[in-house]
Structure 1
Amino acid sequence: MSTVLKNWDFMRLLRMSMGLWLIYSAFADRQPLFGLMGGIFALQALFNVGCGLGGCATPSVRRSTTHTIEETHYEEVK
C-alpha cells in the first residue's frame, strides 16, 4: 500500500491521467480497446511499474568516475 501512495512524479501522474482519459473515452465512444489500454496505463501508474521493476525513476546516486584525462602527444610526419 505504501508504494501506491508514495513517489508520485511527473511520469506517474502522466500515465494515470492518460489511463483515466482513455477509460473515459472508451465509455464515451464504446471502444473496448481504449478501455483495455487505459486500464493498463492506470495500473502501471498505480503500482509504479512502467519501465521495469524499479519504475521509471533514474538512480539518484551518481557513481563517481575516476578517469584521468591524458594529454595526447602528436608526432609530425613529413
Structure 2
Amino acid sequence: METLLKKWDVMRLVRLVAGILIIGSAFVDRQPLLGLMGGILLLQSLLNVGCSAAGCGMPRQKHSTNVKADKPQDEIPYEEVH
C-alpha cells in the first residue's frame, strides 16, 4: 500500500477529491452534466492522465553548457562518391 501511495502527487489527490465532491454535488442537485465533469476528474486521477503541472510538457532537451559560440564544432567526416 505504501508503494502505491508514493506514485500519487498533490495534483492527482486534488483531482480525486474534486471529482468526488463534484459527483456528490451533482447527485444532490440532480445535474447530470456536472456529474460527467466530476467523473472525468475522477477518471483522470485514477488513471493518472491529464494535463496538470508539467503533465503534458515535452521533456526538455539537455544542451551542453561547455560549447562556446566562437569554437568551431567537430566536422563530420564523409566520403565523396563519384
TM-score normalised by the shorter chain: which range applies? 0.5 to 0.7
* SS of residue in 2 equivalent to 1:56: coil
Alpha-carbon RMSD across the aligned residues, in angstroms, is 3.1
1:66-77 alignment, distance < 5 Å: 66=65
Distance in 2 between residues matched to 1:51 and 1:6, nearest whole Å: 20
Q: Which residue of 2 aligns with 1:63?
A: 62
Asked which structure has the greater CA Rg, the reply is 2
- TM normalised by structure 2 equals 0.59
Q: Does 1:48 align with 2:59?
A: no
* SS of residue in 2 equivalent to 1:13: helix
Task: Provide Cα deviations, 1:14-57, integer angstroms capped at 9, x if missing partner.
Answer: 111110011000001111111000000000000011129xx828
Q: Which runs of 5+ in 1 are unaligned?
A: 70-78
Shift of 1:65: 4.3
Q: Does 1:39 align with 2:28?
A: no
Q: Which residue of 2 aligns with 1:13?
A: 13
* SS of residue in 2 equivalent to 1:33: helix
**Identity value in percent:** 51
- TM normalised by structure 1 equals 0.62
Size of the aligned set, in residue pairs, is: 64
Q: Which runs of 5+ in 2 are unaligned?
A: 70-82
